[in-house]
Structure 1
Amino acid sequence: MSRAVFDSSEYQRRIDRTKEKMAERELDALFVSDPANMNYLTGYDGWSFYVHQGVIVTQDRDEPVWVGREMDANGARATTRLDEADIRPYSDDHVQSPVDLHPMDFVAGVLEDLGVSDGRIGLEMDAYYFTAKSYTRLRKNLPEAEFEDTTLLVNWVRIKKSEQELDYMRQAARISENAMQAGLDTIEEGVPEYEAAEAIYSALIDGTEEYGGDYPSIVPLMPSGDHTGTPHLTWTDRPFRDGDPVIIELSGCRHRYHSPLARTTFVGDPPEEIRETAEIVIEGMEAAMDAAEPGVTAETVEKAWRDTIAKYDVEKEDRIGYSMGLGYPPDWGEHTASLRPGDETVLEENMTFHTIPGLWFDDFGVELSETFRVTSSGAEPLADFPRKLFTT
């Protein structure tokens, strides 16, 4: 029995919208290998993305076709609403094959069976789990096909969320709040960094009294001390020391939907430089969120941040946010709109963004972030957590 977390009408809407985008590109078929996009179109949810798998959408079939490893076919039966004929498993001798078999050989056979072997086929050429060899094997097996790079086709369909998606993101936000508080409560002088990570992970899985949590697409990030100038470090067995700034970035996850949250704390009494930097980050982030509303561009939101921090003679070249929601490792971002100069994406209601305007210097950094939904009246933060520099 399927444990799909959306009803059939939700999946049908997604498939129909994807087919509209395919028609605009004159595609006969689309091969989707991004596990988030596979989930979005079918509900498939398994830790099987370390081997080749995918979903095929064609214009003349009502339902997609799942292709994956034979031992994962029951996972497709358990998590999707697909009929048995739409679940196409390949044998295990295609995995790290000693006899020069490759999963894309099987995928090519499915595409031929679906009558599109000489058609225009879209591929997610820059997806994490679609390799160069995958492409060369498809080309070898389907010499009459015309392949087109459609890496972000489904991602752009995903950018506006349904009410049920937003509900799951709000639930993820409740988990994020609990996990952030667990981390802040654990961090103090003499406590090893891994104990704070343990507390965060426990809270991410424990969830709330009403529901549990899932594994996030990105592990909790927790640089400390002079390493807070480098935002993407995790944790060590080093004990926290008096005078350490500590950044925590994490996300609760509910049915693969995320709501990231970041805060900075300080072990001891923070120096004035860090206090002032935190105030600048908070003021700039709030200015950016105040600017976010339907009809403005992504770069307009970033400009509100840039203009604010410029008053303090501070510059930041990195983007300050990105669209996100559904995700699998190694990323919860959608890879579409970014809050940065030059991005002219027009914000629409029910888009969701993680805005993370941290400031990182050579010897310290300060980071605060919010996940927000674009509403008819502006930005709605999904989490309810104090925006301040914490201390222990």
Structure 2
Amino acid sequence: MERILHFERAEYATRLAAVKAEMSKRGLDILLISEPPNQNYLTGYDAYSFYTPQMAIVALDRHEPIMITRGMDATSSKITTYLSDDSIRGFPDSYVNSTERSAYEYVAKIVQELGGETAVIGVEMGGYYYSARAHADLVKALPQARFEDADLLVNWIRLVKSPAELVFMRQAGLIGDAVINRVTETAEPGVRECDLAAAAYHQEISGTPEFGGTYNSSVVHLCIGERALAPHSTWTDKPLSNNTVINFEVHGTRRRYQINVSRTVYLGKPSTDYVKLADIAIEALNAGLDSVRPGQACSEVFEAFHKVLSRNGIEKDQRIGYPLGIGYPPTVAERTASIRREEKTVLQPGMCFHMMTGLWLGDQSVTITQPFAVTETRYEPLTRTPRTLVVK
């Protein structure tokens, strides 16, 4: 069976070594990884199988992780990971959606096989895929073990992208450009919102002539008309009308590496005040981007952005950036650093962010944003579409 590996084995070895070093620092013997992006990062595992329990296990004294999935999905482990057969485990279907047994009992048996009955075990307590029931079942099955919260341990390591990862981030950006152009070209009075969404999805999956895209971690956001004041709205089947604001957020995803990007299209003739708001938003975005450099704190980037707003009598309390990378539902955001007023995380080369500087003010809103990577000196835009208000 042919394996589909997107990185060299040495890349995975480097990632695993970094995780083990952090485990040692925290006194962890075993790390249970429930988050799909972290499983993908360490093993390459990729399948839409996370609706049932699955777990990657990293043990300090074992040379490679163990990937546990539903039995039928073990085939995906053989196809998409570098793991040996002994490190690929699949639990019987009798564990799936059962009221009598728990898949985490199966996970506990693997932990016991590794000698982990009395181990210090790290778990991702804040993860989207680690439920209260999962934790309770593990604690019950491993009563002599000590469980520690290791949430975000892998996420913080993932925050700095390798050169190989940045290749996929740039390709995702090119897909994102294609999606922006497709949505902008499709938006016309009379076009149904659902057809505009369909055009975006088609382009996200189709990608570019050079490489295709795939499903992303979130829905396309189409915030139209009155719903333009709602940052995370989707679409209806109503036709677009003239003199309408369309705030949209779309994605480019390449081999699970995802960028998010937003633009605003105005159908008709915008007011002078609206054009001025868009100009302020763009100036503030550019000021934030121009302040990006290694060694700069995230809060300093926020202040550079907000200085432009303050000069124009505008306040924005929300964060204006979150990290990008491997994306699985429900989000690509890595839950680590944010670009906001109180964030002291220092920027490093290889970090990637979506500078999401949307403004929602009273009865007006505009969303013109930019995904970027931190370089050795400044920043690299991951999409190339001009940061302008589109008027049609």
Bin of the TM-score, shorter chain as denominator length? over 0.9
Q: Specify the alignment match of 1:357 in structure 2.
A: 357
SS in 1 for 2:28: coil
State whether residues 172 and 254 of structure 1, in contact with CA within 8 Å, keep that contact through their aligned partners in structure 2: yes
SS in 2 for 1:3: coil
Q: Specify the alignment match of 2:186 in structure 1.
A: 186
Q: Specify the alignment match of 2:298 in structure 1.
A: 298
SS in 2 for 1:88: strand
How big is the shift at 1:112?
Answer: 0.5
Q: Specify the alignment match of 1:326 in structure 2.
A: 326
How big is the shift at 1:218?
Answer: 1.1
Q: Specify the alignment match of 1:56 in structure 2.
A: 57
Query: For each residue in 1:290-342, what CA deviation from the matched residue of structure 2 results, as whole angstroms up to 9, or x when unmatched?
Result: 11110110111001111111000000010000111111011011111000111
The aligned runs of 1:120-131 (5 Å cut-off) are: 120-131=120-131
* Distance in 2 of aligned mates of 1:106 and 1:5: 29
Segments of structure 2 that go 5 or more residues without pairing to the other structure are none
* Distance in 1 of aligned mates of 2:198 and 2:362: 28
TM-score norm. by structure 1 comes to 0.99
The aligned runs of 1:365-380 (5 Å cut-off) are: 365-380=365-380
Q: Specify the alignment match of 1:27 in structure 2.
A: 28
How big is the shift at 1:260?
Answer: 1.4
SS in 1 for 2:327: strand
* Distance in 2 of aligned mates of 1:21 and 1:40: 16
State whether residues 243 and 267 of structure 1, in contact with CA within 8 Å, keep that contact through their aligned partners in structure 2: yes
SS in 2 for 1:334: coil
State whether residues 293 and 377 of structure 1, in contact with CA within 8 Å, keep that contact through their aligned partners in structure 2: yes
Q: Specify the alignment match of 2:343 in structure 1.
A: 343
The alignment status of 1:87 with 2:88, answered yes or no, reads yes
Q: Specify the alignment match of 1:75 in structure 2.
A: 76
Q: Specify the alignment match of 2:154 in structure 1.
A: 154
The aligned runs of 1:213-232 (5 Å cut-off) are: 213-232=213-232
Instruction: Single out whichever of 205-214 and 55-64 deviates more from structure 2.
Output: 205-214
SS in 1 for 2:199: helix
* Distance in 2 of aligned mates of 1:339 and 1:228: 23
Q: Specify the alignment match of 1:97 in structure 2.
A: 98
Segments of structure 1 that go 5 or more residues without pairing to the other structure are none
Q: Specify the alignment match of 1:134 in structure 2.
A: 134
* Distance in 2 of aligned mates of 1:5 and 1:256: 10
SS in 1 for 2:333: strand
One-letter amino acid matched to 1:184: T
One-letter amino acid matched to 2:175: I
Query: For each residue in 1:162-214, what CA deviation from the matched residue of structure 2 results, as whole angstroms up to 9, or x when unmatched?
Result: 11110101101111111111111111111100111111111111111111111
Query: For each residue in 1:202-239, what CA deviation from the matched residue of structure 2 results, as whole angstroms up to 9, or x when unmatched?
Result: 11111111111111111211110011111101111011
Query: For each residue in 1:326-366, what CA deviation from the matched residue of structure 2 results, as whole angstroms up to 9, or x when unmatched?
Result: 11011011111000111110111111111011101243310
SS in 2 for 1:264: strand
SS in 2 for 1:326: coil
* Distance in 1 of aligned mates of 2:223 and 2:270: 16
How big is the shift at 1:272?
Answer: 1.8
Q: Specify the alignment match of 2:246 in structure 1.
A: 246
* Distance in 2 of aligned mates of 1:315 and 1:53: 43
How big is the shift at 1:288?
Answer: 0.6
State whether residues 182 and 200 of structure 1, in contact with CA within 8 Å, keep that contact through their aligned partners in structure 2: yes
* Distance in 1 of aligned mates of 2:286 and 2:40: 33
Structure 1 runs (4+) deviating above 2 angstroms are 361-364
State whether residues 225 and 364 of structure 1, in contact with CA within 8 Å, keep that contact through their aligned partners in structure 2: no
How big is the shift at 1:88?
Answer: 1.2
* Distance in 2 of aligned mates of 1:349 and 1:303: 20
Query: For each residue in 1:124-170, what CA deviation from the matched residue of structure 2 results, as whole angstroms up to 9, or x when unmatched?
Result: 01111111000000000000011011110000010111111101011
* Distance in 1 of aligned mates of 2:215 and 2:372: 21
* Distance in 1 of aligned mates of 2:349 and 2:170: 16
* Distance in 1 of aligned mates of 2:242 and 2:274: 14
SS in 2 for 1:101: coil
One-letter amino acid matched to 1:274: Y
- Identity fraction in percent: 40
Q: How many residues were matched structurally?
A: 391
How big is the shift at 1:74?
Answer: 0.2
* Distance in 2 of aligned mates of 1:93 and 1:352: 41
* Distance in 1 of aligned mates of 2:101 and 2:365: 49
